[in-house]
């Protein structure tokens, strides 16, 4: 068993199980199940979030244009030079523009055209990582795309920082889930944050996810 999971990986479960090998394996099985259940709920959150942000960003450009194209992306996410802790200057928006560029290349969309077909736009939106949508809510965008558009994706009066901080947490957890990492102590908080986000994003989606989620029952059955 330890050859299968590796000793370093399995010892996390052994410590949590008080060095009881059977209980440690039960915890591993439980962690696998609860990760899958949380990813199920997360899928609804990610789709709802990206579609809401895409809808609001689309209001910032003329109906004949798209925010996903190269020229409009450069307008919305211009060169923003800043300095990191090591004193190195860098463009804070380069990563974001780069992810949009990579998606356009992937789907062979024109790099200079300000318009994309609805099909291509839909493919790009679906292809962008969760981290892209989180980055759009960074504090540097508060006076621009947050104030002018993205705040309308959430319940009235919700602060950008409250959404961003929870999304950062959820993104970290999501990455752990995707890599099948132990989440023995983080699932409960992550699930609360997930439902808070849905409560300010779309209560209909929140009700649907709550009705179909398996996370609470798995939490109650933790070995």
Grouping H, G, I as helix, E, B as strand and the rest as coil, residue 112 is coil
> How far apart (Å, rounded) are the C-alpha atoms in residues 171 and 136?
13
pLDDT tens, 39-90?
999 999 999 999 999 999 999 998 878 999 988 999 999 999 999 999 999 9
Q: What is the pTM of this model?
A: 0.92
The residue whose two tokens read 């996390």 is 12
**Rounded mean pLDDT of 24-40?**
95
**113: pLDDT confidence band, cut at 50, 70 and 90?**
low
183 CA to centre of own chain: 17
| Residue among 215, 15, 65, 53 nearest 134 (CA) | 53
pLDDT in the model for residue 19: 94
Residue 112 has pLDDT above 90, yes or no: no
Q: How many CB atoms lie within 10 A of CB 204?
A: 10
pLDDT in the model for residue 96: 97
Q: What is the mean pLDDT of the chain?
A: 93
Residue 1 has pLDDT above 90, yes or no: no
pLDDT tens, 166-221?
999 999 999 998 888 898 888 999 999 999 999 999 999 999 999 999 999 999 99
Output the CA angle 59-117-54, nearest 5 degrees. 30
**110: pLDDT confidence band, cut at 50, 70 and 90?**
low
Q: How many CB atoms lie within 10 A of CB 9?
A: 14
pLDDT in the model for residue 60: 95
**Rounded mean pLDDT of 123-148?**
97
């Amino acid at each position: 068993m330890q050859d299968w999971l590796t000793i370093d990986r399995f010892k996390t479960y052994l410590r949590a199980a008080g060095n009881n090998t059977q209980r440690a394996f039960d915890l591993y099985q439980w962690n696998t199940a609860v990760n899958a259940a949380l990813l199920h709920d997360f899928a609804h959150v990610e789709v709802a979030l990206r579609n809401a942000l895409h809808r609001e960003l689309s209001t910032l450009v003329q109906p004949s244009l798209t925010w996903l194209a190269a020229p409009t992306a450069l307008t919305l996410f211009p060169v923003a030079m800043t300095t990191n802790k090591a004193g190195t200057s860098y463009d804070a928006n380069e990563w974001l523009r780069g992810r949009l560029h990579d998606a356009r290349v992937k789907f062979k969309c024109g790099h200079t055209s300000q318009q994309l077909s609805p099909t291509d736009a839909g493919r790009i939106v679906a292809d962008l990582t969760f981290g892209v949508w989180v980055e759009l809510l960074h504090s540097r965008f508060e006076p621009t795309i947050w104030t002018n558009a993205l705040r309308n994706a959430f319940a009235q009066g919700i602060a950008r920082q409250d959404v961003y901080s929870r999304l950062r947490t959820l993104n970290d957890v999501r990455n752990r889930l995707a890599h099948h990492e132990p989440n023995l102590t983080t699932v409960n908080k992550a699930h609360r944050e997930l439902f808070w986000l849905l409560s300010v994003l779309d209560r209909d989606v929140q009700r649907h996810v709550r009705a179909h989620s398996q996370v609470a029952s798995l939490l109650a059955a933790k070995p």
